[in-house]
Amino acid sequence: MSDRFQKEVEKSVADYTASIPFDRRLYRQDIAGSVAHARMLARQGIISDKDAELIVMALAAIRDEIEQGKFPFRTDLEDIHMNIEARLIEKTGDVGRKLHTARSRNDQVALDMRLFVKEAISDTTQKLKQLQRALIDLAEANRDVVMPGYTHLQRAQPVLLAHHLLAYFEMLNRDVERFGDCLKRTDVLPLGSGALAGVPYPIDREFLAKELGFTKVSENSMDAVSDRDFVIEYQAAASLAMMHLSRLAEEIVLWSSAEFGFVELDDAYATGSSIMPQKKNPDVAELARGKTGRVYGNLMAILTTMKALPLSYNRDMQEDKEGLFDTVDTLLSTLEVFTGMIRTLKVKGDRTKQAAEEGYILATDLADYLVRKGVPFREAHGIVSALVKYAMEKGKGLKDLSLGEYKSLSPLFGEDVYSITVDTSVKARNIRGGTAPERVKEALARARRSLDG
């Protein structure tokens, strides 16, 4: 108990305010920060080299205790910082009491959180690229597979499956870029800001930054201890990434259904039913959709927590951790299982081609056919619309119509109309960003280079 208070804290209050049940996972970051701080204090002559060496050795021993499951975590010590400091004092006596010179728990936790988020960004980026690589591999293995492209979940125009998969590659590329941008603002050293006003010791913050791998030092002590923008930014980027994964998940759920039958999930990434023996459920994809909501919720929680906090540190900010940890864990695990699921996905190319050839998916190509013969597009659109209506009334596909039936709607239709196929449709989209095989081949090579470079 501090000399400032005359009563012990109620146990219910101690339990309510303690963060050690969840912030103990910051032990590595906390110890790394303390080691750098001890070395800086000695370098600046604030403590002796001998004391710094003893502190560093004891901190290494404490890290080993934690990793071996032998550390005596205490809820009454509130958080990971006080738990480690108390254990340090047990091991080194008054020498350990010197470590907190020229710092506060406010800049200490800000440091730990930044170190954690920097590592999370690195891990996330790596796993995003692994999933991108899996998508490229699947696309290259099925480069010639044609499938229906959709708008409004209605068959629209034929595309290459590889082109469709590369759309997700582009989404994940933006995610990688966003996390990279987040890193720029996370990579700022707050240590040395003290509680809020700086510290009255001749510390070397540039040395601390170099020791801890930061490229910048914070410019305002009040902002440094109260800033959690980097936590919010990570969660915002994670929410977008999970949204992309959820969209891909929905496609996999649809494609693996009997109604579509475009893909088959590997047994290792599906589950059965407790009552229906025939079922093969896309649980990984479905759970990813569900977990996306959790990640969104964590983002809204931290935004709401921070929205009305006066400067500088407030205890509300203890709520920055659990949601962040959950988001990091959720995103990383989702990326990992998605990579395995994509790598083992079996594409049913015959079925995708059959689906692309059914119905009236070449209607736009027929309109373009008339445009090439001098008909304004809007007029050509109307002619083909009437043609589709006629075919539907007759219960025929476009390829089943006779030339006479074609000519009844426009005399410009000739025998060459039957040369329009899903393959010619795909090949005709030979512009940058289009689905033509030549363009998709270039896009795949570009994507591969971007990952290997």
Q: Which residues are catalytic?
A: 152, 273
Give the pairing type, strands 154-160 and 346-347.
Answer: unpaired
The string over 304-315, giving b where at least 16 C-beta atoms fall within 10 Å of a residue's C-beta and e elsewhere, is ebbeeeeebbee
**SS3 for the chain, per residue?**
CCCCCCCCCCHHHHHHHCCHHHHHHHHHHHHHHHHHHHHHHHHCCCCCHHHHHHHHHHHHHHHHHHHCCCCCCCHHHCCHHHHHHHHHHHHHCHHHHCCCCCCCHHHHHHHHHHHHHHHHHHHHHHHHHHHHHHHHHHHHHCCCCEEEEEECCEEEEEEEHHHHHHHHHHHHHHHHHHHHHHHHHHCEECCCCCCCCCCCCCCCHHHHHHHHCCCEECCCHHHHHHCCHHHHHHHHHHHHHHHHHHHHHHHHHHHCCCCCCCEECCHHHCECCCCCCCCCECHHHHHHHHHHHHHHHHHHHHHHHHCCCCCCCCHHHHHHHHHHHHHHHHHHHHHHHHHHHHHCCEECHHHHHHHHHCCCCCHHHHHHHHHCCCCCHHHHHHHHHHHHHHHHHHCCCHHHCCHHHHHCCCCCCCHHHHHCCHHHHHHHCCCCCCCCHHHHHHHHHHHHHHHHC
How many angstroms from the chain centroid is the CA of residue 268? 23
Task: Report the alpha-carbon distance of residue 412 to residue 402 in Å, rounded.
Answer: 14
User: Which candidate, 107, 125, 329, 376, places its Cα nearest to that of 223?
Assistant: 107
Distance CA 74, CA 229 (A): 30
What residues contact 327, with CB distance under 8 A and at least 6 apart?
Answer: 234, 235, 238, 294, 295, 298, 299
Q: CA–CA separation, 207 vs 212, rounded Å? A: 9
Distance of CA 257 to the CA centre of its chain: 26
Residue with tokens 């027929």: 366
